[in-house]
Structure 1
Amino acid sequence: MSNIRTYINDTVEEMKERVSWPTYAELQRSSVLVLIGSLIFALVVGAMDFGFDSILTWFYNQF
């Protein structure tokens, strides 16, 4: 039981003292970048899906 208490206390101390947390402005900028990157990725994957679907539909209609 003592080991668990020591582990929890050490973890709390490390989170308070040693971890460098981002500022609110940095967090906002990072969130916006992730959102934009996700949207671009979704658009690229959607365009590829549409393209492959069109190509395969054309190909299957040839037979």
Structure 2
Amino acid sequence: MTKFVNYISEAFHELKANVTWPEWSEVQRLTIIVAVFSVIFALFTYGVDQLFVKALEGFFNIIK
């Protein structure tokens, strides 16, 4: 158990002392970029899915 506590303590020390954290404005800007691209990717995926649905419906209507 002491190894685990020591590991957690060292991890927090590492985060405080050795990690360079970005500025808050950069974090906000990058978060907005990730959110926008996530929405765009989700819409693209939805569009491709709908395209395949229509294609399969057409295919099965032809062979019916």
TM-score, length-normalised on structure 1? 0.82
Deviations 1:5-63 (A, max 9, x none): 54343222211111011111011011001101101110110000110000110111112
- Look up the SS of the partner of 2:19 in the other structure: coil
The alignment-based identity, stated in percent, is: 34
- Look up the SS of the partner of 1:11 in the other structure: helix
1:49 aligns to what?
49
Structure 2 gap segments, 5+ residues each: none
Matched positions, count: 62
TM-score, length-normalised on structure 2? 0.81
Aligned mates of 2:60, 2:9 — CA distance in 1: 65
